[in-house]
Structure 1
Amino acid sequence: MRLLFILLFSISLATHAQKTKPVKIILDTDFGNDCDDAGALAMLHQMAYNGEAEILATVYPMNDDMGAAAIDAVNTYYGKPNIPVGTYKGDYVYKGKHNDFYNSRLAALPNDVKSGKNAPDAVALYRQILAAQPNHSVTIVVVGPQRLVADLLQSKPDASSKLDGMALVKKKVKQLVSMGTEYLKGNEWNIRICPDAAQRVEKEWPTPIVYSGFEIGKAIMTGERLITETPEDNPVRIAFETNPMVTPEKNRQSWDETAVLFAVRGLRDYWTLGTGLPHIADDGKNEWTTSTTGTRHYLIAKKPTGDMKKVLEDMMVAPPKNSTAKP
C-alpha cells in the first residue's frame, strides 16, 4: 500500500510539472533613471533559466537612444542576445526628467543594438509579438510609464494582425502588471510623468490589471550584495554603483523587482490581493477605492521584509547560466 501511495504521489508530481508552463512575459522598462529596472531584468533572466518565465520581448518607453542598447547589453550578458528590444519612436514629452545614470555605460558593453535608432518601434513590436502568441497567454509587466501600452490600445491593424490594439490585447493578453500608483493614495513617479496614458490604461485596458504599488517596493532595500558577490563587469552592479539615488551601502528600494516577481510567480506567500479602482487624476495623483469585484487589483504585503530581500537579491546576484565569473 505504501509503495502504491508513493507511485501515485510521484505520478501526481510529474503530471503537475508537465502542466506548469513558463509565464510568457513582455517587460516594458524605463532603464537608466533608476537601477531597480536593471535588477528586475536580472531576476527575470534567472526565472527564465529556472523554467518559470519565457521572455518574449523587452521594450523601452523613453526618448533616450541609449536605453534599448543598455537593455540589449543586459540580455546579452545573461546569454540571450536575441531577445527582441523595441523602443519608443513617438514625441511625447514626459512630465519629469529621465536621467541617463547608467544607460551609456551599459550601452558600451557588448550588444547588437548600439542605439535606439537601430531598434524597432516598440508598439509595432508589441503587436508582432502578441499576434504570434496563443490566446490569453501573455503577461505584460510595465515598470515605467504606461505610454507604450496606452499607445498599443490605440494602434491600428497592420501586417502583424488584422485586429486593432484593443482587440489584440483582449485576445492575447492574460494580465497587465504595473509598477505604479500607491495604496491608499499617492503621487507615484511612473504615473505622474505620463498621467494621460495611465488614465487610459486604467479605464480601457480589457484584461485584469495588478498594480504593484509604491509602498510594496519601498519597504524592501536591495543591491548591496551586488557589490560583494558579482564581478565588476556585471551590468546590474554597474547600474547600482553609478546611480546617485542608492544608499551608501548601494541599496535601493525594490519597486520594479517586486512587480516582476509577482508577474512570474503570482501571490505565493509574498502578498495578498486587494480589488478596487485607483482613480488617477490629471496630475497623476491617485486614490484607491476598494471593492469586492472588478478587474483592477493591488498587492498587499504579506511576507516579512527581510525574507523578501533575500528572495530578490538571490536572483539579482546570481551569475549568468554556465558562467564561471567570480567577484
Structure 2
Amino acid sequence: MPCGEYFTDYTSRMGLVRWRTQKIALALGLPLPFLAPLLFEGGTLTLLTQAYIFGIAVLGLNVILGYAGEIVLAQGAFMAIGAYSTSRLLEAGAGLLPALVIGGFMSAMIAVAFGLPSFRVKGFYIAISTLALQFISEWFFNNGQAAFIHGGSQQQFPSTVGLLGPVAEIGSTFDKYYLALVAVLLFALLSLNLSRTGIGKTFRAVHENDLSAAVLGVNVFKNKLLAFGIGGFMIGVAGGLYGFQIGFISPGYFTLSLTLEHYVMLLFGGLGRVWGALLGVGVVTLIRDNLREVLGIVSDATGLNATATVPVFFGVIIIVVLAVEPKGVLAALGKIKEYFRKWPFAY
C-alpha cells in the first residue's frame, strides 16, 4: 500500500481504481484514445482499430485459458464463426449491433459444444478437440456446397450499415475506430469485474487444481463450459467487428496462424491479467506491422518470400517469454516497480 493511503471500508478496498496514482493515470490516459483521430492519419487509425478488435479476442482467450486454464487452439475458428454469422445477418437486414451479438452467441454455442469433452479429459486432450474445430471450420467455410449456410467463402461487408437496422448508420474509418474503442473498453471492464466475482474466483480455483475445486463442492464441468461460453462470445464479437472493419472476409484470414498470433499477445502481456493482455496486443501489433514492412523490403531486395517467416518470429517470442518471464511483461514490470519501491533498503 502506498505511504499515506489507507482504507476504512471493504468497498474502497475492492475498487478497480484504488490508489491516487491509479486515479491520476486514469484521468490523464483515458481521454487519449478518444483524441487519437485528431492526431493520427487513416493508416494509423486502421492499425489501432485492429488492435482494439484483437484486444477483445485476446480478452476472450484470456477468460478460457487465463482464468479457467483450458487450452484452446480454435481462436481463428471462433472469430470466423462470428464474422460469417454477422455477415449473414447484415445481408438479411439486421443492424450491426444485433448481428454482432447473435454472431457472438453462435460462436459461444460452438465453443461450449467443443468444450463438452472437458467432462472426461483435460489439458492436451482439450487442446486437440479445439484444434479439430479449427480444421473443421477451415474446411466448412471453404466448402462451396455449404454456401447455403455460411453464404460463400468470400463475402463483402456493406460499406455503410446501421447500428440498429436503418438507424445510426456508420461506415467511415472514424466510426469503426470509435466503435472498436468503445467495445474493447466495455469488454475490458467486463473482464476486470468477472475476475472479482464468485464466477471468476471459481474459474481460478478450477485453473489451479480442478480436483481440489471439485472436493470443495465446485461444479468443475459446468464452470469450464461457462468459461468456454463467455470467452467464445467475446471472440465471436471480435470476429464480427474484424469483418466489418476490413470490409471483406475469407477463410484465409482465420487460420491457425491467427491463433498463434493471439497466443503471443496473451503470453507476452501476462496470462490471466486483463491489462497484460491489452499490453501484449498493443506491443505485438506494433512489432508485427513494422516487422512485415521490413520483411517486405527484404523480399523485394532478395526475391525470397521473407514475410513467410512471421509465424516463426512469433513462435520464437513465445519461447523467449516463457523462458525469461512466464508470467509476462506485466509481471516483470511489477517486479521492477517493487525493486525501486524498496531500494536502497534490504527489506
Do the two structures share a fold, i.e. TM-score over 0.5? no
Normalized per residue, the structure richer in helix is: 2
Larger C-alpha radius of gyration, 1 or 2?
Answer: 2
Q: What TM-score, normalized by structure 2, do the two folds share? A: 0.26
Q: Which has the higher contact order (CA 8 A, sep 6+)?
A: 2
What's the TM-score, normalizing by structure 1?
Answer: 0.27
- The structure carrying a bigger strand percent of its residues is 1
